Structure 1
Amino acid sequence: MSDSAHLLKKAIKHGEFFNLYQPLINASDKQIMGAEVLMRWQHPAEGLKNPITFIPEAEEKGFINKMTSQQLKNCYDELRPILIQNPDFIVTINISSNHLLDAKSVRELIHYKGLIPNLVLEVTEDVLVDGNDDRIQKAFIKLTAAGIDIAIDDFGTGYCGLHYLGQLPVKYLKADKCFIASIGTDSINSHVLEMIVGLSKKLNLITIAEGVETPQQVAHLDILGVEIHQGWHYNRAMPANELIHYIELTKQQVTESEEHLKVVGTVSE
């Protein structure tokens, strides 16, 4: 076993991987309606490691399914207070073909659907194109039968034939952040964003915009009718306890605002 594989195995054993949660914002009222679960690695020597530095190798070495299993357990344990109050809270988690090709992982995902009612699985376009693999097709069928929704992550950056969108159980298109960053520029990506939103509407899918960072981007996305926003303009990825606190704080602010409007309305009558 290579040194890197040994470190990954050790990290799983010692629980060095942990979750952060980036809020999903309902564009209509700008309230938190869900969160994407992001995996991080607190390396004992190198400190905090970004997933791009370890996820590809974890997939190659066959560790990713076990890591996702831990991630799901931690997610349910940490978000339980939110899920009790709001079962419709969207929880999105990234999976790869490794998960779809493993019957045990598929069963585990279905199990957690029973605990996290609005569990959404994010897959990239290359996984969707691999949908012609009979095993992946069957996995999608099982997941859909269990009521699990699918989101295509980084949509527009790869290749995804339109017939795949019609054949497979997709509910969300996540427009890649490069298209959001192009808003207000003459870049061709800004036109691609409009095409993605238009395609999503024609297929009765929900669009999620990733990497929303400025008020100008928010305004443009609202004009396009993008239903869900995600990005630093609203919130950074945060631990579960901070997410819970932020949601409670937001609810309190909304309540206070509604009470203020009632008082103003009473006075003006």
Structure 2
Amino acid sequence: MASNTADGIAPFLLYLVTSLAMSFVVGAFLLRIQLRLRRALDRSHRKQRQLSASARIDSLTGLINRAAFMRALDRALDAWRNGGPPVAVLLIDLDHFKTVKDTHGHAAGDDVLIETARRLSGFQEANTTVARLGGDEFALLLEDDQGGIPRRVGRRLLDTLAAPIPIPNGFARVGATIGLAVSEDRAVTSQELLHAADVALYDGKRHSRGSLRAYEAGMDEAQRDRSMLEGDLRRAMTAGEIVPYYQPLIELHGDRLIGFEVLARWQHPVRGIIPPTSFIQMAEESGRIGEMFYTLLGRACEDARNWPTDLRLSVNISPTQFAEPLMASRILSILDKAGFPPARLELEITESTLVDEVSSAREILNTLRNAGISVALDDFGTGYSSLRHLSDLPVDRLKIDRGFVASAQRNGEDWRIIRAIVQLAGTFNLATTAEGIEAPEILSTLRDMGCDIGQGYLFGRPISAEQTSLWLQQRPALRAMAS
């Protein structure tokens, strides 16, 4: 009987075990599907968070981007209209970023942007918002009801960004210019306030890089005028309207004319003669400065063929041109074509070239000097050059910035700066040139200090090639007058 019972239970147990096994398999399968669905959902959520973050965060610097900044600016202006603190926008543009990137590569450019963002993040407080708007342009939104705060913050920003930035090949001094706009009209929109800061920024870059410029009425009109000039510049270069003018270089001991500095002038058909301060920076920013330099150099060499062979030409060269590998060969080719001896040419470079383009400048300048061309360091004392640069780089002469001469005329104590530069040049066996000589007493003092060469209105203003040829015919009388 027990056997019959067991036989009866056996099918049931088999069914039960089979059912349990199937339930386990199905359960495991469903659990596996559930885990897959959960992981897929988690991935979807992460992707959504990443997409949300990428929509507001700049991936390179970690700062918020333009879209997020504009939303923050909208909120700040809404709060201001409802009784909150005034709103200030500081628009920050790096001054020499393109030069660093062109010379040292995109990786060095990224290093500059990352370090700039790190420094700006130090200003990230409860009432500030820092963003990268794109390229080398950054912005700081400040909400504060205390007068003068935006300007003080702007000056601190300039100091912070002026410090050298480490890059793979050394250090770069980039610096920045800042445009400031403050909410005054309650109806102002975020776009209008940012535009005002942009107008102030470009006014600052046009007149004084490395400065803080606040928006003022009338700047919009000036910017429109500049935009018209920018559009006209390409036509002017093609039409040959950018021409060389010449200012005498005088040996101070003996009043001997030794040559001319070549200065660009724009002979505009409507506006007349336009000075270089109004278009040289535009040419640099648009990438046309190299073309302009080579054209001016060629015309100056042709002009000088009709002048005494003991006179030399001194020509300014932009720091951005040192990013061009063939610069030296192109200069030598122009001289050869014009039949102009290299020993009669001097190139003037600025101190920023020594800081930003040390490696490329050394190679190019050595090539040119080996061919007989001399090199002058322009505006000495206004930049960041060091004694190492004076000893390492092939420089023949220091030019004392006209600002020191002008300052010395107002304050006699400032003669100490000029005397120190002359003595420093002597230590390195370099000649010196003083700019901005406009009075006989200034000339006499510079002579006593041992300055070698001078230029300024006392000797002659920059004039055209035709006027220079006439001036040379009268040189003996003029030399007697200067002495």
When normalised by structure 2's length, the TM-score is 0.49
1:140 is matched with 365
The SS at the match of 1:183 is helix
2:457 matches 1:235: no
Asked if 2 retains the 8 angstrom alpha-carbon contact of 1:151 and 1:171, the reply is: yes
1:267 is matched with none
Aligned match for 2:321, one of 87, 99, 107 = 99
Matching residue's letter, 2:442: Q
Aligned match for 2:236, one of 5, 8, 11 = 11
- In structure 1, list runs of 5 or more residues that go unmatched: 256-269
Aligned match for 2:347, one of 102, 105, 121 = 121
2:263 is matched with 38
Higher relative contact order (CA 8 A, sep 6+): 1
1:95-244 correspondence runs (5 A): 95-114=317-336, 115-116=340-341, 117-132=343-358, 134-186=359-411, 188-244=413-469
Asked if 2 retains the 8 angstrom alpha-carbon contact of 1:123 and 1:152, the reply is: yes
Q: 2:262 and 2:345 mapped to 1: Cα distance?
A: 11
Aligned match for 2:312, one of 86, 90, 103 = 90
Shift of residue 168, structure 1, vs aligned partner: 0.6
Q: Post-superposition, which runs of at least 4 consecutive aligned residues in structure 1 deviate over 6 A?
A: 252-255
Matching residue's letter, 1:47: G
2:274 is matched with 49
Asked if 2 retains the 8 angstrom alpha-carbon contact of 1:130 and 1:136, the reply is: no
Shift of residue 161, structure 1, vs aligned partner: 0.8
Name the Cα RMSD after superposition: 2.1
**Residues 4 and 253 (structure 1), Cα distance of their counterparts in 2 relative to 1, 3 Å cut:** closer
Q: 2:323 and 2:335 mapped to 1: Cα distance?
A: 18
Shift of residue 184, structure 1, vs aligned partner: 5.0
Shift of residue 61, structure 1, vs aligned partner: 0.7
Matching residue's letter, 1:36: E
The SS at the match of 1:18 is strand
Asked if 2 retains the 8 angstrom alpha-carbon contact of 1:113 and 1:148, the reply is: no
Q: Identity over the aligned pairs, expressed in percent? A: 34
1:74 is matched with 299
**Residues 185 and 14 (structure 1), Cα distance of their counterparts in 2 relative to 1, 3 Å cut:** closer
- In structure 2, list runs of 5 or more residues that go unmatched: 1-226
Shift of residue 254, structure 1, vs aligned partner: 7.8
Shift of residue 221, structure 1, vs aligned partner: 0.5
Q: 2:291 and 2:257 mapped to 1: Cα distance?
A: 29
Deviations 1:131-177 (A, max 9, x none): 43x33332122212222111011111111111001011101100011
Asked if 1 retains the 8 angstrom alpha-carbon contact of 2:319 and 2:350, the reply is: no
Asked if 2 retains the 8 angstrom alpha-carbon contact of 1:101 and 1:139, the reply is: no
The SS at the match of 2:347 is strand
When normalised by structure 1's length, the TM-score is 0.86
2:25 is matched with none
Asked if 2 retains the 8 angstrom alpha-carbon contact of 1:100 and 1:140, the reply is: no
Q: Which of the pair has more CA radius of gyration?
A: 2
Q: 2:254 and 2:300 mapped to 1: Cα distance?
A: 26
Q: 1:61 and 1:188 mapped to 2: Cα distance?
A: 42
Asked if 1 retains the 8 angstrom alpha-carbon contact of 2:312 and 2:345, the reply is: yes
Shift of residue 5, structure 1, vs aligned partner: 4.0
Q: 1:53 and 1:5 mapped to 2: Cα distance?
A: 10
Query: Aligned residue pairs: how many?
Result: 250
The SS at the match of 2:408 is coil
The SS at the match of 1:81 is coil
Q: 2:473 and 2:292 mapped to 1: Cα distance?
A: 30
Q: 1:107 and 1:9 mapped to 2: Cα distance?
A: 25
